[in-house]
Amino acid sequence: MVTIAFSRNSSPEEYGASSPSIGAVLKAIAADATFSDKRRADICSAVRTLCGRLHIQLESTPADPRLFAERLANVTEVTVAMSRGRFQNCRSLLDATLAYANKRMVRRRSRTPLAPEYAALLAYATSRWQVIRLRALFRYASERAILPEGIDETVMTAFAETIRRSTVKKPHNVERMSRHAWNQLIQAVPGLGSQTVTINYIAERYVLEASAFPQSLWDDLEAYLSSRATPETTFAIDSLLTEEELFAEDARRTPPIRTSTANLIRYRVRQFASVLVIEGVVNVEQMTSLASLVSPATINRGLQFFVRRAEGKLRNSQMYGIATDLLMIAQHWVRLPASDLQKLKILTSKVRPQHEGLPHSARRSLAPLRDLPNVRAFLAVSELILRDAEKEKSIDRATANRVATALWIRIAQRAPLRISNLLTTRLDTNIIRSVGKSGSVALLYPPDQVKNRKTLEVPLPRSTVAMLDLYLRKYRPVLVEGESPWLFPAPNGKYKKPGVMSADIQRLMRSYIGFAINPHSFRHVAAKLYLSVNPGDYESVQLILGHRARETTVRYYCDLEAEEAFRHFDAVLLGLEAHPDRRRPS
């Protein structure tokens, strides 16, 4: 059983008000004599079945392609308990229904043959990716008898509108890549006479290049980051602090940071400096040091830019991260007066996100795990992936990559580490084994590899060790050529990127069990499952997740027990209903 939780940003009312309901369209198709009896029956049956499996109300849901595209974005045949052929057929007939509802809504695949001019142009494409991105555009132009010389900004805009009125996934990405492929093509075809088109980016690109600012600003920033690079505190003999300075709050050394954090601070400083230039708060020539960025008035003006971008929302993690980094610079490097620091602390507190418990996105991703069959399917998915891989007669890179992903899932289920820790696991330093053929295995991470700088040692169950050994012996050699110390290597010998691993994990989970969660949510799953059996045992969850403070664990996961409380409450009510004469004990 799969519980479907759609992460949509729009409500049905936000889609075309003039669109008839999907139920009304089915009634119109059932009464349309231009369809054969079999065709009408097939369409109505397929659409009703698919909508029923997705819990879509026929009479109140607009027949708008974008709404259905969002609903179907992460749905697989496993999600709706259909065979692959039946699921694909239902989707195809749904497309036909939406096309019938509005002639401007095109089918997912156009059957219009390409005009000869466009068929000849495809020969100049340099990659399969470029052919795929150009084919839809060329079919659109062929349908409308538009010659290659006539493709301009107006045609591209109309093509984009057609895509948005279809069930294509991520229409903005399709439009942008089609524009990019077209620009590449006309550069490669001499004498075509066509004009380039603009490439529309969803996000506004306002961050200036580092070269736009004085080099002294970056030198000052690097000096600040160097002061926080290592935890050791050393002083030269000629620069010993006085006793007053030694115990002064602003003379204490700032907390050390890792390389990844330093890179994030570099970007945030450049991001904020760019905003100050755009807003006209500080001239580029005046940005000679970090001191020019961190006055209370300057930070206040700069943060207003982000408030406008967030449509008036005052509290979000982006603004809080920028404000916090600037406060640290002002306090520990620029050393602003105490009165200014107090203003910055108040400003930082005003943009700090306020939430108790898990974010809404995490709650929605965990919705399928409310049902025990889904929990069991989640715990068994790595074994299913490995079982299918073992059936293969030969091992190619794709198969080995699936097994690597299955191993990641298996380890993260039993040892809910952060994705950065698992992906940077080295065979020579992070995996420790006891003596003996059947010895135990644990993952060991020193403080400099852990977010809260506490040594982390995680024992692996025997079943996980068996999968690990099989992967190392049989599948990992296919993934890398030459020497590589990483447990999960990329083709270039480095460790696999988090974004790539995250995509692989979610793709395999949807394929095998019909739903997916992102890698970080494995930690939330661990807390949810443990607390559902051991309510109130936050100390154990704190140890499992490696939180430094118990308060962190309680703040995020205390309300996960609410579901169990409601189930208990429902059981009490059922007991009272079954025994209406039962008196309340005194």
- Higher-confidence residue of 390 and 564: namely 390
Whether residue 5 is predicted with pLDDT greater than 90 in this model: the reply is no
* 97-101, 121-125, 246-250, range with the lowest pLDDT: 246-250
Mean pLDDT of 479-501: 89
| Burial environment of residue 344 by CB neighbours within 10 A (0 to 12, 13 to 18, 19 or more) | buried
Q: Report the C-alpha gap between 33 and 54 in whole angstroms.
A: 29
Q: Does residue 4 have a pLDDT over 70?
A: no
For the cut 80, the answer to whether the pLDDT of residue 83 exceeds it is yes
What is the mean predicted confidence (pLDDT) over 233-242? 48
Residue 408 has pLDDT above 90, yes or no: yes
The more confidently predicted of residues 469 and 254 is 469
- Is the pLDDT at 395 greater than 80? The verdict is yes
Q: What is the pLDDT of residues 516-560, one digit of tens each?
A: 888 888 988 888 888 888 888 888 888 888 888 888 888 888 777
In contact, 354 and 315? CB cutoff 8 Å: yes
Query: Is the pLDDT confidence value at 40 over 80?
Result: yes
Least confident of 9-23, 337-351, 547-561: 9-23
Class of domain 365-522 as given by CATH: mainly alpha
CB 501 within 8 Å of CB 494: no
| Average pLDDT value for residue range 90-98 | 89
pLDDT at position 110, please? 52
- Of the two residues 133 and 287, the one the predictor is more confident about is 287
Q: Which pLDDT does position 520 carry in this prediction?
A: 87
The predicted pLDDT at position 535 comes to 82
Under 8 Å between Cβ of 520 and 498: no
- Token representation of residue 190: 């001499």
Residue 129 or 375, more confident = 375
Contact call for residues 169 and 73 (beta carbons, < 8 A):
yes
Place of tokens 């020193």: 446
Angle separating helix axes 397-414 and 462-470, nearest 10 degrees: 160
CA-to-CA distance for 33 and 39, rounded, in angstroms?
Answer: 11
**Residue 337: what pLDDT?**
94
Question: What is residue 11's predicted lDDT score, i.e. its pLDDT?
Answer: 43
pLDDT computed for residue 438 by the predictor: 66
Question: Is 353 a residue whose pLDDT tops 90?
Answer: no
Instruction: Write the pLDDT tens digit of every residue in 282-292.
Output: 999 999 999 99
Mean pLDDT (whole number) for 336-358: 88
Q: Find the range with the poorest average confidence among 396-405, 513-522, 562-571.
A: 562-571
Cβ atoms < 10 Å from Cβ of 11 = 8
